[in-house]
Amino acid sequence: MRIAIHQFNAELGAVDRNLQRIEGLLAELAPGEIDLILFPEMCDTGYAMDVIMENAVAWDEHHLAGVKREAARLGATVVVGISERAGNDVFNTAAVIAPDGSLIYKYRKTHLVSIAPIHEDHYLTPGDSLGYFVSGGVNFGVMTCYELRFPEVARTLTLRGAQVLLVPTAWPAVRVEHLTSLLRARAIENQLFVVCASRVGTDADITFSGNSMVIDPNGNILARGSAATEEWLRADIDLETVQRSRERIAALLERRPHLYGGK
């Protein structure tokens, strides 16, 4: 399976221009070149709470039309983190577009940042279900940024059958070592691939970390982006590695849930 990540740098508040840029970036790729393409968190609005609340978009059947056309042209699954307005609520959402260009799934971030000065929890509405979808015969889990700090989420998605965990982020550069450690831990403990798209740039005095990564089920970093540059990152992954890893070290089978309070 061929993976591509873009370390996007959103223009704060410029929803239409940001989405047009994503469409243009996808246009750089050739049909059949990539199977799955991942963009970071909140690519349409940028990542500042007041700007998100002012500019978040209500979706209709035409939303992401250009990105959908490019997904269909490429024959690729495209996952992009964007805002979603629904009535009085605004969600931090990952949109999943199938290789036929249809919107097949959306994941609304369930665990919101409560850390100053970000405080998503003061502005956004949390989703009420974890992120899991199937595309191209592959089982994917989705966790957004801060949710890496909740191993229960990754484990639950693994037990549902996830082979690849997708992580769109806008991770602060000041904690980039946390990002690396958490991504590798989620891969190793669940014996699956972790694919993280981490944005670059600065919004509202927060500089983001870059360092997008593809990590295999043994914790090996197969590809890693730079700290500050918008760029494409590519990696080939062998999904059979998931099963081989789990057969070699059978930790998932050796769990004793009755000792964990039924978890």
**pLDDT tens-place string over residues 196-229:** 999 999 999 999 999 999 999 999 999 999 999 9
pLDDT in tens, 17-33: 999 999 999 999 999 99
**Marked catalytic residue, from 43, 70, 106, 109:** 109
Q: What tokens appear for 29 in the block?
A: 């790729």
Report the mean per-residue pLDDT for the chain: 97
> Active-site residue 43, yes or no?
no
Cα–Cα distances in angstroms (integers) from residue 159 to residues 148, 219, 256, in the given order: 16, 19, 13
> Active-site residue 61, yes or no?
no
C-alpha–C-alpha distance, residues 234 and 256, integer Å: 37
Q: What is the pLDDT of residue 262?
A: 59
CATH of the domain at 94: 3.60.110.10
Does some domain include residue 259? no
Q: Can you give the residue range of the structural domain that contains 139?
A: 2-248
Q: What is the pLDDT of residue 30?
A: 98
User: Of 142, 139, 136, which is closest to residue 196 (Cα–Cα)?
Assistant: 142
**Marked catalytic residue, from 84, 106, 145, 196:** 145
> Active-site residue 263, yes or no?
no
- Is the overall model pTM greater than 0.85, yes or no? yes
**Marked catalytic residue, from 41, 70, 120, 147:** 41
Question: Do 187 and 221 touch, CB atoms closer than 8 A?
Answer: no
Does some domain include residue 239? yes
Does some domain include residue 168? yes
